[in-house]
Structure 1
């Protein structure tokens, strides 16, 4: 009888600890549920996107191809700096001090636009990074909730088996003893099977400013991205193979790896809506997608870096 009392006492103590842990986890989920990653104030970017007629732009600036790559010419056009560069080319033919001063002034004007573009890239990448961290945190909390649930079920299973075993030993009637053993085994098996739930718990997660929605739709329908950044995402010339844009290639990878090539499942996913009920797998997928977009955004810095090198060749 003492053994039975000890098992019940241990069972109550352990379930109490798990319950307190769950309360802490749920409070943390409430803290992370709403985004803290968006900028403290909204900047109204111009809605005008640069021209996507890349072949015509490059053809119209053939005189620059000896110094600038096609990508650099397109970036200069997107920054509205082609006139300044063409003016520098003309001024370089004159070695007078006045011409040199004008060249430096024009270069400062170009550098100012490039600096703004770089800060926009950093800002967008930082928000992707922050959102990725936020989702990863809540994903870990949901994992903990699921682990806690499974631990409780395992505990119940062990306790049911132990109680049945002890009770079976105490009860002398063979019929009742067998019934207790069978019932204990059934309860233990039931709790064990419950741990096999592949989906686990859901939590509410809100992201009205959804950075991934425009990427998935391949349309700039929100003020989430500056026009220059969106142009870099969507112009094919800035991708590795120049056949698909950065976000088009990204979307295809998401469809394959995150959604198992199920277009309808992807289109209906909570990941691309304003938020809703998430399972752990959805949260981990969203975190991975945000991190991938952060990396893709930072790679645009390489294109800007090549432009700066081309500019130095022109000026020096």
Structure 2
């Protein structure tokens, strides 16, 4: 009786531990479902985008071509500082102290706009990074579920094979011996084939603030991005070959590598929706796409760095 009591107590303890572990896992999943990456408050950006008439802008400011790269001129226009640069050029013709002070004031104004642009870049890149980490955590959870499931199926397959072998050795009837052997083989094979399920487990993952949706649609339909950042994403002059914009090139890569060039599948993908049930492959794709956008966002810093170098040459 005492042994039975101890046995019941041990079983109850194990059940309690498993239950607490499951509760902890579910709590973590609930935490990850609700994005903790978005800003704590909503900033109402000016929705007006800079002009995309890049050729006209460059032609109208061709006198700057010897001092600034085309990309620098376009960035100055996007920031609203082109007039300030023209004023600096005129003021440099006068070496008086008053002119020097005005030049410094104008440079401070330009630097202030550039600083805001840099902080916007950092903020967007940080959100991409955070979202990528959030997806990776969910993906790791699903991978663990799939690995645990496969391990169980492999174990069941081994047990089925061992059981059929033992039973075959015990049963002397040839008919029953063959039946047990065949049945055990089929059962073991069934468990083995079940481990090859390409889809595996799935988990609900919500992202109503979906940064990737605007990128895929190439339309700024939400306040997810500041206008300056969106302009840098979508102006072809800032991409390497200038045939497509930064996000245009990104879309082509996603379509080829993530969706096997099937646009209909991409358009229907849960990745570009408000969220839903994800499988491991979808989560891995989403994490990769977020990381790629983070890298693309950070590369814009190179253009701004060149602008700062050009400005220093102008002022000094």
Whether these two folds match at TM > 0.5 is yes
With over 3 angstroms needed to count, the CA separation of the structure-2 counterparts of 1:173 and 1:24, relative to structure 1, is: farther
> Secondary structure of 1:68's match?
coil
Q: TM-score, normalised by structure 2?
A: 0.92
- 2:114 aligns with 114
With over 3 angstroms needed to count, the CA separation of the structure-2 counterparts of 1:200 and 1:162, relative to structure 1, is: same
Structure 2 gap segments, 5+ residues each: 1-15
* 4+ residue runs over 4 A deviation: 16-27
- 1:211 aligns with 211
Q: CA deviation at 1:18?
A: 9.5
Give the number of equivalent residue pairs: 303
CA deviation profile, 1:97-125 (whole Å, cap 9, x unmatched): 11101100100000000000000000000
- 1:102 aligns with 102
> Any conservation in 2 of the 1:204–1:278 contact (CA below 8 Å)?
yes
- 1:68 aligns with 68
- 2:286 aligns with 286
CA deviation profile, 1:215-238 (whole Å, cap 9, x unmatched): 000000000000000000000101
* Structure 1 residue 246 corresponds to structure 2 residue 246: yes
Q: TM-score, normalised by structure 1?
A: 0.92
Q: CA deviation at 1:170?
A: 2.4
- 2:232 aligns with 232
- 2:303 aligns with 303
CA deviation profile, 1:263-282 (whole Å, cap 9, x unmatched): 10001000000000111001
- 1:138 aligns with 138
- 1:8 aligns with none
With over 3 angstroms needed to count, the CA separation of the structure-2 counterparts of 1:196 and 1:300, relative to structure 1, is: same
> Any conservation in 2 of the 1:136–1:284 contact (CA below 8 Å)?
yes
- 1:5 aligns with none
Q: CA deviation at 1:251?
A: 0.3
CA deviation profile, 1:245-270 (whole Å, cap 9, x unmatched): 00001001100110000010001000
Q: How far apart are the structure 1 equivalents of 2:272 and 2:108? A: 41
With over 3 angstroms needed to count, the CA separation of the structure-2 counterparts of 1:120 and 1:139, relative to structure 1, is: same
Structure 1 gap segments, 5+ residues each: 1-15
> Any conservation in 2 of the 1:25–1:145 contact (CA below 8 Å)?
no
Q: How far apart are the structure 1 equivalents of 2:181 and 2:249? A: 59
CA deviation profile, 1:174-228 (whole Å, cap 9, x unmatched): 3323322222111111111111101111111100000000000000000000000
What is the Cα-based RMSD across aligned positions, in Å? 2.0
Q: How far apart are the structure 1 equivalents of 2:182 and 2:73? A: 79
Superposed counterparts of 1:147-226, under 5 Å: 147-226=147-226
Q: How far apart are the structure 1 equivalents of 2:199 and 2:22? A: 18
